[in-house]
């Protein structure tokens, strides 16, 4: 289908809302167009169609796409949801890349084969006061079924480290293309080993679940949150500088101080704290592995120094600046200053002259 003379650049049936509005076009605009193509392939129909171009463009801007299952009932639920997400009017709600769209579609198809539907989508409400540990699982799926979902952690229901690494690599690719920053926070639960030893591994698992859920809800619409390793959680901030993510992390830690975990059926109350490492692209690494490693080193420093949140690169920069602009380094060594003072007193002061001294030492 060719673009006709006098038309907007692009084929109207496949144009994203931002392209119609002549706003900035990004990779997520292509995700929208790809969603239209897949929708058409699976149903034989376009999600938005009209002989009138104006009506067609308005449909892209204002109407929600009909579920593919209304047109083709054999389409897996998860595939339907993934494509409808790709067709979101808001680019921030779409998949970040074709790879992520593929992962969602593939995991849904694999789940359908195993008898798993996509009801894994989590709809939670934040408790009015505190975080309450419940012995029953929050997910509607059993652990055995959730294990079939490639992108989700089987304990917490959050994205797993495989997915988060892919997501971070994709964010880095977008940052290289756009010049924007990408930042991450790596949260590590303080004293988690002691929690397991004192309360048992069942309670330890419940702590992981609740902290993960709480982080996801607290950072909702600000970052993508996933479980990384053991007692670690990662938050990816798209188009965000490290210092901004660091401020978000500080706010999260302040809110966490006000929360107490209560274990149902017991009198146990657990105060959970986290240490956080910060990293940013560009500056702290060239890929997801390097970026996470820098954040991990920062988190370890935060635990060691008791500062709660630590950005290794920023501290190194400040240390370097402090060394470069220290008084002794700027004006010279102490012995040289003493010699200069003696010469000044001996030769110049006695003559009552005003002197300006210039040179490498100050």
Tens of pLDDT, residues 147-164: 445 578 888 888 888 888
Tens of pLDDT, residues 58-89: 889 989 999 999 998 888 888 999 999 999 99
Which range (85-99, 209-223, 271-285, 301-315) has the least confidence?
Answer: 301-315
What percentage of residues in the chain have a pLDDT greater than 90?
27
Tens of pLDDT, residues 290-340: 999 999 999 999 988 888 898 887 655 444 434 444 444 444 566 666 776
Whether the per-residue pLDDT at 10 is higher than 60: the answer is no
Tens of pLDDT, residues 352-361: 555 555 555 4
pTM above 0.75, yes or no: no
* Angle, in degrees to the nearest 10, between helices 161-178 and 98-113: 160
Q: What is the mean pLDDT of residues 179-206?
A: 89
In whole numbers, what is the pLDDT of the chain averaged over residues? 77
Q: What is the mean pLDDT of residues 275-285?
A: 92
Which segment, 6-20, 149-163, 193-207, 307-321, is predicted with the most confidence on average?
193-207
Q: Residues 281, 175: contact at Cβ < 8 Å?
A: yes
Residue-wise burial string across 120-144, b where 16 or more C-beta atoms lie within 10 A, e elsewhere: beeeeeeeeeebebeeeeebebeee
pLDDT of 202: 84
Q: Count the Cβ atoms, other than its own, within 10 Å of residue 95.
A: 25
What single-letter DSSP state applies at residue 348?
Answer: I
pLDDT band at 143 (very low <50, low <70, confident <90, very high): very low
Whether the per-residue pLDDT at 259 is higher than 90: the answer is no
Delineate the domains of the chain, giving CATH numbers in brackets: 1-114 (1.10.510.10), 119-325 (3.30.70.270), 332-362 (no CATH)
Residue-wise burial string across 243-282, b where 16 or more C-beta atoms lie within 10 A, e elsewhere: eebbebbeebbeebeebebbbeeeeeebebebbbbbbbbe
């Amino acid at each position: 289908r060719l673009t006709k003379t006098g038309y907007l650049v692009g084929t109207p049936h496949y144009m994203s809302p931002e392209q119609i509005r002549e706003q900035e076009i990004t990779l997520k605009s292509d995700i929208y167009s790809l969603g239209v193509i897949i929708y058409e392939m699976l149903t034989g129909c376009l999600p938005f169609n009209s002989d009138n171009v104006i009506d067609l463009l308005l449909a892209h801007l204002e109407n929600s796409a009909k579920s593919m299952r209304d047109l083709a009932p054999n389409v897996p639920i998860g595939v339907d949801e993934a494509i409808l997400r790709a067709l979101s009017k808001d680019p921030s709600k779409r998949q970040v890349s074709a790879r992520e769209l593929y992962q969602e579609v593939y995991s849904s198809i694999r789940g359908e084969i195993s008898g798993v539907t996509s009801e894994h989508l989590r709809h939670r409400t934040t408790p009015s006061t505190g975080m309450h540990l419940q012995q029953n699982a929050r997910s509607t799926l059993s652990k055995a079924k959730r294990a079939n979902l490639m992108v989700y952690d089987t304990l917490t229901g959050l994205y797993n480290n495989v997915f988060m690494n892919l997501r971070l690599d994709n964010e880095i690719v977008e940052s290289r293309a756009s010049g924007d920053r990408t930042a991450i926070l790596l949260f590590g639960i303080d004293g988690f080993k002691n929690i397991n030893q004192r309360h048992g591994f069942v309670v330890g698992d419940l702590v992981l679940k609740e902290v993960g859920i709480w982080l996801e809800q607290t950072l909702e619409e600000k970052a993508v949150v996933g479980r990384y390793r053991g007692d670690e959680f990662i938050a990816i901030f798209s188009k965000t500088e490290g210092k901004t993510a660091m401020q978000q992390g500080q706010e999260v830690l302040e809110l966490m101080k006000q929360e107490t975990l209560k274990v149902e059926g017991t009198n146990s109350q657990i105060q959970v704290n986290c240490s956080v490492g910060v990293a940013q692209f560009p500056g702290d690494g060239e890929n997801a592995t390097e970026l996470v490693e820098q954040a991990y080193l920062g988190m370890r420093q935060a635990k060691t120094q008791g500062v709660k949140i630590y950005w290794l690169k920023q501290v190194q920069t400040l240390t370097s600046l402090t060394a470069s602009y220290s008084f002794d380094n700027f004006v010279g060594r102490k012995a040289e200053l003493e010699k200069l003072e003696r010469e000044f007193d001996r030769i110049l002061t006695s003559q009552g002259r005003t002197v300006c001294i210039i040179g490498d030492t100050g």
